[in-house]
Amino acid sequence: MARLIIDVLNIDDVDPVEIEPDAIMFDDTGLGLDSIDALEIAVAIAEQYDVHISAEDEATKEIFATLANLTAHVIEENRTRQTGS
Amino acid sequence: MSAIPLVPRIASEAFARRGNKRISVAQFCADIQALAQTLPAGDFIINLCQNRYTFTVAFFAALANHQTNLLPAKRDTADARTLAQRFGACPIISDQGGDDADVRVAIEPGGHGETTSPSCNADHVAAIAFTSGSTGEPQAHPKSWRMLDTWRQVHQRYLPVDPHVPAGLVATVPSWHMYGLEWAMLLPTIAPLTLHCGADFYPQDVVRAVSEFSQPTVLVSTPVHLRALRQVPSPPSNVATIVCATAPLDASLTTQIEAHFDARIFEIYGCSEIGSLASRFPATNPNWEFFDCFDIAYNNGAIAVSHRELPDPVTLADHFNRLDHGDGHQYELIGRTSDIIKIGGKRESLANLTHLLMDVDGVDDAVIYEPAALHLPDTGRLGALVVAPGMNSRAIRAALAQRMDTAFVPRPIRLVDALPRDRTSKLKRGELRKLLAQIERSDHV
């Protein structure tokens, strides 16, 4: 997931292991990402994992807060789909 | 003094759609009147409401009270508070619980009240839009109610949609930026459009929103959102027209999107001082046509725009070629007249950004560049080369995020031993391109 974010956002000077799982992604102190980055990450996640993010969903802010949350969300969505099908 | 109605539409028509609920024009007017009675007194109001419907109702409620909407460039409460202090500590209103606002706004569904449209004096300053000027101090752009009313009539006339057929309207842009304010807030107050009031941002949101309408739908968006929408596997069939602005669309994206949605793209060119100025259908004609309400003075590539609502002519930041076209003129966009760049609808000077980077402790030399201007693949972001022994790019990124809007923070930031400056310390584009090509090659070894 860290690799996906680095590739999508063109921050290839950052090593995947440098992105701390619990660091806040969307503020000035963490990776400093903005809403356009969120859109690009959402597109990449949809393409790679077939998991779709919605702004209508109250939990989206929480999901995008940290790398750990985002990863957990993608895993959970995949698991739900597998057990549901 | 002449008064202009806020919502000159038929009362029984649909104005908005929020969840599964249809909101009529009459209900919208009732919501405006009801909220107007509860807004705090004073000449100015800062509206930080995030829901599109609540924002719209609050904007018009302020007008019904002859108050002025202040639209800050950045919408965090700290910046809004600074702005409020400049305007007599005016109240900040919001619909978010966690915000440090003065008044929490909630629109009760199905509320009762006066259902006719309120009016506002034509000369009243309806809004002051602030842009983050490249000098640092936000610049104020006042808009009289007559001006906004004139603009919405012009936009309705140019929108390539049958003015008598009701249509849906879905926007991926917020209503508080001028483009969204004009095309996703003011337009449906005059044209028979039903405004979708959800959080329509990610591709899936947009598809769901459009699918909620059974009639033809207008999508108001940007190149960034449209690029993301290409991945939608089965796009809804009822997108009739796509309005696009903030940055010029390239030909291949235009073709892909038009084919994907089977819809026509209507593209807008504008400037923060005035708003929307010109339009084109990029699939059939790359040249721009200015809206006929404006007087255009063309001089050697430079354009000054005048209108009776503007105190002075506005000189555009872009250069154009004028082309004769029968009874009128079309304009080919050449490029900027200065080093002002535009990302995410925000403008900044490249020189100023480089200056901010050089100012970071530990940075000896640096340059911020625009990949497209160096004929490199356009990533939509800036890049930087930095000489800063002992520092890593992450520390530099963190330092920059404190100094500039995140939209402008370069990616990637690459550390180099030296920049290829010539004897007069100038950095030639050719040399910069050579160095970047070298770095690119060594990355792939």
Does B398 contact A18 at a Cβ distance shorter than 8 Å?
A: no
Q: pLDDT digits over B288-305, tens only?
A: 999 999 999 999 889 999
Is the model's pLDDT at B245 over the cut of 80?
yes
- Whether residue B346 is predicted with pLDDT greater than 80 in this model: the reply is no
What ranges do the domains of chain A cover?
2-84
Taking an 8 Å cut-off on Cβ atoms, the answer to whether A13 and B208 are in contact is no
Task: Please give the residue that has the higher pLDDT: either B342 or B60.
Answer: B60
**CATH architecture for segment(s) A2-84:** Orthogonal Bundle (1.10)
What percent of chain A clears pLDDT 90, i.e. is strictly above it?
A: 0
pLDDT, chain B, mean: 89
B348 forms beta bridges with: B341
What's the one-letter identity of residue B291?
A: F
Compare all CA atoms of chain B with the CA of A19 and give the residue at the minimum distance: B394
C-alpha span between B218 and B176 (Å, rounded) = 19
How far, CA to CA in Å, does B63 sit from each of A13, A22, A38, B94, B96? 49, 45, 34, 17, 22
Report the range out of A76-80, B140-144, B358-362 with the highest average pLDDT. Answer: B140-144
Burial of B233 from C-beta contacts in 10 A (0-12 / 13-18 / 19+): exposed
Sequence-separated contacts (24+) of B161-165 with Cβ below 8 Å: B161/B191, B161/B193, B161/B216, B161/B218, B161/B240, B161/B241, B163/B191, B163/B192, B164/B192, B165/B192, B165/B215, B165/B216
pLDDT at residue number B341: 78
Contact between residue B101 and residue B93 where contact means Cβ atoms under 8 Å apart: yes
Domains annotated for chain B, with CATH where assigned, are 3-286 (3.40.50.12780), 349-443 (3.30.300.30)
Question: Is the pLDDT assigned to residue B140 strictly greater than 80?
Answer: yes
Nearest to B94 by CA among B133, B45, B146: B45
Which of the residue ranges B167-176, B340-349, B390-399 would you say has the lowest mean pLDDT?
A: B340-349
- For B186-223, how does the pLDDT look when each residue is reduced to its tens digit (9 = 90+)? 999 999 999 999 888 889 999 999 999 999 999 999 98
The whole-angstrom distance between B383's CA and the closest CA on chain A is: 10
Q: Which residues of B touch A40 (CB under 8 A)?
A: 228
Query: Other CB atoms closer than 10 Å to residue B292's CB: what's the count?
Result: 11
What is the DSSP annotation of B229-245?
Answer: HTT-SS--TTEEEEEE-
Q: What is the pLDDT of residue B328?
A: 79
Please determine, for the modelled complex, whether the ipTM score is greater than 0.90.
no
pLDDT: is B267 or B412 the higher one?
B267
Is the alpha carbon torsion for B193, B291, B237, B164 positive or negative? positive
- Among B143-147, B193-197, B349-353, whose mean pLDDT is lowest? B349-353
Mean per-residue pLDDT, A42-66: 83
CB B186 within 8 A of CB B42: no
Judged by a CB distance cut-off of 8 A, whether residue A43 touches chain B is yes
b (16+ CB within 10 A) / e for B135-168? eeebeebebbbbbbbbbbbbbbebbebeeeeebb
Sheet holding B413-415, edge to edge: B365-369, B383-387, B413-415
* pLDDT attached to residue A53: 85
Q: Does A47 touch chain B (CB under 8 A)?
A: yes
Phi first, then psi: what are they for B363, rounded to 5°? -90, 120
